[in-house]
Amino acid sequence: MNRKKNLSRVEKVEESGDNWDLVVIGGGSSGLGVALDALSRGLRVLLLEKSDFAKGTSSRSTKLVHGGVRYLAQGEVGLVFEALKERGRLLKNAPHLTENQPFVIPLYTLFDRLKYGIGLKIYDWMAGGLRLGKSRFISPEETQRRLPKIRMEKLRGGIVYHDGQFDDARLALMLARTCDDMGGCMLNYAKVTELSKDASGRINGLRFRDLIGKKNYRVKAKTVVNATGVFADKILRMDQPDAPKMIQPSQGVHLVLEGSFLGGNDALMIPETSDGRVLFAVPWQGKLVVGTTDTLRKKPKMEPQPLSSEITFILETAGQYLEKAPRREDVLSVFAGLRPLAAPKEGSTKTKEISRSHKVIVSDSQLITITGGKWTTFRKMGEDTVDAHYKMHGINPVESKSAGRRLHGYQEFPEAGPLQLYGSDAATIRKLQESHPEWAQPIHPDYPYTGAEVVWAVREEMAQTVEDFLSRRCRILLLDAKAALHMAPKVAELMAAELGKDADWIMSELEEFYKLAKKYLIQI
């Protein structure tokens, strides 16, 4: 995936006066899902992301590919059916990025056993042939074996069930690379500045600015898709300045602790917190991700900040179930994401009552906007959006082939270890390490990431900044913010050599990254 080559393609199409079939605005889960599906049907696709792929909400999830047990309790049966089907497909198409994750719900009353047992049997049945494993009751002793640090007082046993786990940012990158492999033109740091319309007021293209090369471009398109998540209203107002607010951002915060706080390989699911929500504690890349919250925020931000009250809520709730209650000083990193919920009816502030189903909306100017949804259903969201493109133009739709598309790096039995997430690309990264022994050395004494991965990220994954690597190409900023600060100088040096940058660039990048990384550390 080469950024310069893709910009050159844009220039050639512009010079020829030709049209793209679809121009997708947004390089998160929904935008990448649209691009993947459109390319599977043979359409010409350009995707523009104003920052880096999955910079926003799509890299800040709970790392679960799941049907959504809590949506079942809320009566969202259609959404759960859809998500379970997509969960099964994703685990088949990207085994290097996903895995089957057992969860345990601890039971403290007989009523809990009845209530959650019935719900999870329905969940199993809904998954059908794509089920990942049967739910079952387990004894207090087995519950403790699976969750070694769970509180045993009054514990009556547990229920084991199965869902999927994944690395969200790496999945986004592999989707971008898959789209690139299929002939899509993928660009990060490409900010849309204006929508263009024909004499009848229909959108026929847009203008964007390459934020790296500082150059403006104009492109023509049969269809423009707004897949910008929590920022969808900004694009809608480019189309129609007085457009009503469509998105209500809702913040979800996660804390990262040492894996020893829970122990074992199973995840903990707390089905009902003090405010009636769900809390997860999920083993992920050797750490424990605990969350999440659901807090209304007024405005969308690229770097949302966790509220002190959210941090306290997660720590206190986890402390009720863990043998050793985590404290603020135990948190290695804290990150927040914003869900693009449909704006609630006037006077309502209950985000848990807002449907998580996605919606495809076509404006009078023929701008298509995709909103809502969740990571698990990204492909179906894309399929529905591309169907809207065909319907809008009165064309018989070409059959979607995205459901069976294996993602870049696919290996049926991926090798375990630090390079597993690269899939089939791991062999090439090892060759880089062999040809440059200095690149084979770990950048941090406690973590496996090497210089070869930094070089690979620049050459093949469009990494442009130190943050791109430390936050999304590897996940160390989210796993251990202090370690990320330690790694930054070496990463900047390696990236500068690959990108042809000077000492001033290194200083500027480090200054920006240090400022950002401090937001991932809890002030004690």
Report DSSP state, residue 298.
Answer: S
Q: Output the pLDDT for position 373.
A: 86
Q: Output the pLDDT for position 114.
A: 85
Fold for the domain defined by 248-342: D-Amino Acid Oxidase; Chain A, domain 2 (3.30.9)
Mean pLDDT of 377-406: 96
Q: How far is Cα 180 from Cα 172, in angstroms, rounded to an integer?
A: 12
Mention every residue, 6+ apart, whose C-beta is less than 8 A from residue 75: none
pLDDT at position 55 over 70: yes
Q: What angle do CA 480, 172, 235 make, to 5 degrees?
A: 105
Name the β-bridge partners of 223. Answer: 22
Q: How far is Cα 461 from Cα 468, in angstroms, rounded to an integer?
A: 10
Do 162 and 334 form a contact (C-beta atoms < 8 A)?
A: no
What is the amino acid identity at position 382?
A: G
Q: Output the pLDDT for position 271.
A: 84
* Chain segment 142-158, per-residue pLDDT in tens: 999 999 999 999 899 99
Q: Output the pLDDT for position 81.
A: 87
Per CATH, 92-165 and 420-520 having the same topology is answered no
pLDDT at position 401 over 60: yes
SS3 245: coil
CB atoms within 10 A of CB 11: 12
Structural element, H or E, at residue 488: helix 481-499
Name the β-bridge partners of 341. Answer: 248
Report DSSP state, residue 108.
Answer: -
Mention every residue, 6+ apart, whose C-beta is less than 8 A from residue 507: none
Mean pLDDT of 274-287: 89
Confidence band, pLDDT 50/70/90 cuts, at residue 495: very high
Do 361 and 232 form a contact (C-beta atoms < 8 A)?
A: no
Confidence band, pLDDT 50/70/90 cuts, at residue 61: very high
Torsional sign, CA 462, 465, 468, 473: positive
Q: Is 67 exposed, middle or buried (0-12, 13-18, 19+ CB in 10 A)?
A: buried
Instruction: Provide the mean pLDDT of the chain.
Output: 93
Choose among 24, 26, 21: nearest CA to 43: 21
pLDDT at position 239 over 80: yes
Confidence band, pLDDT 50/70/90 cuts, at residue 126: confident
Confidence band, pLDDT 50/70/90 cuts, at residue 377: very high
CB atoms within 10 A of CB 396: 6
Q: Which residue has the higher pLDDT, 347 or 105?
A: 105
Mean pLDDT of 362-389: 95
pLDDT at position 262 over 50: yes
Mean pLDDT of 342-370: 74
pLDDT at position 348 over 70: no
Range in 103-112, 196-205, 293-302, 354-363 the model is least confident about:
354-363
Distance of CA 224 to the CA centre of its chain: 22
Do 458 and 495 form a contact (C-beta atoms < 8 A)?
A: yes
Phi, psi of 258 (to 5 degrees): -65, 145
* Chain segment 160-216, per-residue pLDDT in tens: 999 999 999 999 999 999 999 999 999 999 999 999 999 999 999 999 999 999 999
Token pair 């087995």 in the structure block, residue: 142
- Give the Å distances, CA to CA, from 294 to 158, 287, 337, 338, 445: 26, 22, 10, 9, 36
pLDDT at position 351 over 70: no
Tokens linked to 42: 């043979």
Fold for the domain defined by 92-165: D-Amino Acid Oxidase; Chain A, domain 2 (3.30.9)
pLDDT at position 347 over 50: no
Q: How far is Cα 303 from Cα 294, in angstroms, rounded to an integer?
A: 16
Pick the CATH number of 3-57+169-246+353-404 from 3.50.50.60, 3.40.50.2300, 1.10.10.10, 3.30.2310.20: 3.50.50.60
Choose among 238, 283, 292, 291: nearest CA to 263: 283
Q: Is the peptide bond before 273 cis (omega within 30 degrees of 0)?
A: no
Confidence band, pLDDT 50/70/90 cuts, at residue 101: very high
CB atoms within 10 A of CB 406: 14
Q: Output the pLDDT for position 306.
A: 95
Mention every residue, 6+ apart, whose C-beta is less than 8 A from residue 271: 69, 70, 105, 116, 278
Tokens linked to 223: 């269809």
Q: What angle do CA 401, 403, 407 make, to 5 degrees?
A: 95
Mean pLDDT of 453-461: 98
Mean pLDDT of 232-260: 94
* Chain segment 505-514, per-residue pLDDT in tens: 999 999 999 9
Do 149 and 99 form a contact (C-beta atoms < 8 A)?
A: no
- Give the Å distances, CA to CA, from 469 to 400, 448, 478: 33, 14, 12
Fold for the domain defined by 420-520: Helicase, Ruva Protein; domain 3 (1.10.8)
Q: Is 163 exposed, middle or buried (0-12, 13-18, 19+ CB in 10 A)?
A: buried
Do 65 and 98 form a contact (C-beta atoms < 8 A)?
A: yes
Q: Output the pLDDT for position 350.
A: 53
Q: Which residue has the higher pLDDT, 6 or 372?
A: 6
Q: How far is Cα 76 from Cα 81, in angstroms, rounded to an integer?
A: 9
Tokens linked to 469: 């690597």
Q: What long-range pairs does 402-407 form, CB within 8 A, spacing at least 24?
A: 402/33, 402/36, 402/37, 402/40, 403/89, 403/379, 404/89, 404/93, 405/36, 405/40, 405/93, 405/178, 406/93, 406/94, 407/93, 407/94, 407/97, 407/171, 407/174, 407/175, 407/178
Mean pLDDT of 349-376: 81
Q: Output the pLDDT for position 251.
A: 94
Q: Please, what is the end-to-end C-alpha distance for the chain in angstroms?
A: 42
Domain-by-domain residue ranges, the chain?
3-57+169-246+353-404, 92-165, 248-342, 420-520
